[in-house]
Amino acid sequence: MAIDPNFEQSREQVGEENGVTVWGPVDPPEQLGIHGTHVAVDYDICIADGVCLENCPVDVFTWVDTPDHPESDRKVEPTREDQCIDCMLCVDVCPVDAIDVDASR
């Protein structure tokens, strides 16, 4: 199941972590929601293989710890989503379709 491209309408903004907007529902450690807005990562399906982090030409992503999450103990956070150049490489390389980039946001 891929990230919901309409998450801003279907989910509620529940807070912020490290300056990144978090969209619920959130119920740690199993359910962590979607992190980011322009560059959004669905933490609940992210497997943290790091391919987006390794391939991003402008270093949008950083690692954050997510202990005891069923998919992985760390995730990629769009810490510098304001630096995104909308190349869509992260979207293209994500094996589980956990990332959405929306140039209109």
Q: Is 94 annotated as a binding residue?
A: yes
Q: Is 35 annotated as a binding residue?
A: yes
Q: Is 78 annotated as a binding residue?
A: no
Q: Is 72 annotated as a binding residue?
A: no
Q: Is 90 annotated as a binding residue?
A: yes
CA distances from 67 to 61, 73, 98 (A): 18, 5, 19
Q: Is 87 annotated as a binding residue?
A: yes
Q: Is 46 annotated as a binding residue?
A: yes
Q: Is 43 annotated as a binding residue?
A: no
Q: Give the annotated binding-site residues for Zn(2+).
A: 35
Q: Give the annotated binding-site residues for [4Fe-4S] cluster.
A: 56, 84, 87, 90
Q: Give the annotated binding-site residues.
A: 35, 46, 52, 56, 84, 87, 90, 94
Q: Give the annotated binding-site residues for [3Fe-4S] cluster.
A: 46, 52, 94
